[in-house]
Structure 1
Amino acid sequence: MKNNLLLIITFLIFLSCNGKYNQQESLPKYGLLWKITGNGIQSPSYLFGTFHEQGGMSVLDSIQSFDSIFISTDQFICEMDLRNAVKLLTKKKDSKSNSYLKPWPNADSTYVNLLTDKQKSILDSAINKDESLRIIREWNLRPVQALSFIKYQSQKNAKINKFPSKDNSYYDSVRTIILDVYLQQQANKYNMNIEELDSMEEFQKLNDSINSRLPTMSYKSEVEFMIYSIQNYQKIDSLQKEYINKLLTLYLQQDIALIGQQQKEVNRHNNMIMSFLGNENFIEIQEKMLIDERNNFWMKKITNLIIDNSCFIAVGAGHLGGEKGLINQLRNLNYSVVSVEKTKK
């Protein structure tokens, strides 16, 4: 009897392990452009993984059918219209709003009474590089939030801020353009309807929700980390570029299985203060909200959008792979999702 019971348990464990193995084997590994058909949709739609940094444009050279597929669709679907994304990042908050004051220990806490004279001088040296950074003081951002804003603005007002008008013939020199920007330019060029998966309001709500989960910590620690980051910008920036270059290499190889893993390394670097304070839990929550929960939310929109229209859906490549990725979720809903041009090592 005991032997029979042992055999049954062993067999059940084998089935469980084998199921997990097969599930992992069926998950997508390579490919950035995927064709969506079946499940009653009228015409094929396409799912494409983008790269939110410079360098991603080169991948188009390895996807020969890209242009013909793009112009064959009626509607362009993106995470957010990038003009709205820039507005969201640069929009001045209502001076009466106290949303950015909530994290402070007291309602009247400011950089003036929180920083030492030396720290104020260091912060001023960073702010004075760009007058627009004075908005940090106007918003009275929490130190970790201010640091993120400094990083964003310090990228020489990155080219993402430069959007040619619909009629501007800017399409000849595109290799240095961020891929997401280029795709929206092309959508405008071909008079495609553009739909967002995240509206400004929805993304702001998500961002506020993430910020509300920032762990309670010493504001002294936050300030010290902010000052450390300003003083060691070159070293930190060099490491950031190293991580991004690794991510770009995987992207150009169309290795969506490993892109997600490398993206986590980038996220952990961007959350150095959380790692420094030993708070890995916040990083995991942030990753879940930015990837998994957005995927779940987007799926509701995507399935409605592709019913009657041929759509070209462009999202960060990190949203494609994995069990909770868009490809696997579409397949679980009985759509056929097949790589258009599969890259092999």
Structure 2
Amino acid sequence: MFHRNTLYGKLALVFSASLIVIGLLYLGLASQLTEHYLRVTEQQFNRDLAYNLVQDQHLVSGDTINQNALKKTFQRYMTINPSIEIYLLDADGTILAYSADPGVVKRNRVDLTPIQQFLAGETFVLGDDPRSHEQRKSFSVTPLPSATQPEGYLYVVLRGEMYDSIEQLYRDSWLLRLSAWLLGVSLLCGLLAGLWGFALLTRRLRQLTRTLDSFRRSGFREHATYRGRGLQGDEIDQLGATFDQMANHIQNLLQELSTRDELRRELVSHVSHDLRTPLTCLHGYLETLKLKCDRLTPQQQQLYLDAALGHSRRLGRLVSELFELAKLDAGAVKPQIEPFAPAELLHDVAQKF
């Protein structure tokens, strides 16, 4: 049943390829949407993290920044929660302080546009990652020493470099395998369901194909009627009903041709007999004249010649009638109906006997 040259095989191949493509697209899209959802949720959940750090650790004393408290905060919170990265920025976004090994921080300055959007109440915005030239990450920020007189910003990256490395490790191992396994199982179930559905849909088509093949192998003489709902059904039922009509028509034509062929053979046999009689008589009279020419009187010779001429005329009429019959059978001559007198026809027939 499953062969690439069959309709079922082609449907199965197209359906399988479509499922694989859709599955891969779904996997990529789901991964992107999940990543976006986690970033939005994380930023909303930690939106006030930078502000709370300033308040809890007393990083601002009056209108000045407590540098000692800031340094302790860097060391303490990045040890307690290594997934975050804390930076001190000036009013232009230049990085003034951070807690990291030399060479880890790639940027000297952070773009202030996302920071201003965040402070303006944007729901989700990504800011520059100081440890990368290209990446942008979710963050929390608060102005220092106050929102009315900002001299800098406490900039907290929520998903730092260590978080990314651990996430990538588990994503490449456990999460990726689990997602691939679930996707494979889902695609397999969908594929089996689709193949089963295609098998049901093409079952009647295979039945019709077997009926057609049986009709062909019988020399178009034995026809098994297709069992369907006729012209009131779907396209396959309509095709089956049309085939039944066509098969019946072909069988009638073959029967008619067989009958005509039998009648033609009988006609040829009768015509051959009718032609043989005057031809034999004509041959006999001419042969008699040749053999007994010197022994026959002129009256006898004239009698033989008249008889031979009569058979010759009869033979000519038979040949003309045969040609006319051939033209009528070929449809080259259209018959014309004319009135006639039956009494004259009977009289002419009686005169021949």
Same fold by TM-score, threshold 0.5 exceeded? no
Structure with higher helix content: 2
Question: Structure 1 length normalisation: TM-score?
Answer: 0.25
Higher relative contact order (CA 8 A, sep 6+): 1
Q: What TM-score comes out, normalization by structure 2 length? A: 0.24
Kindly name which structure, 1 or 2, has the bigger radius of gyration based on alpha carbons. 2
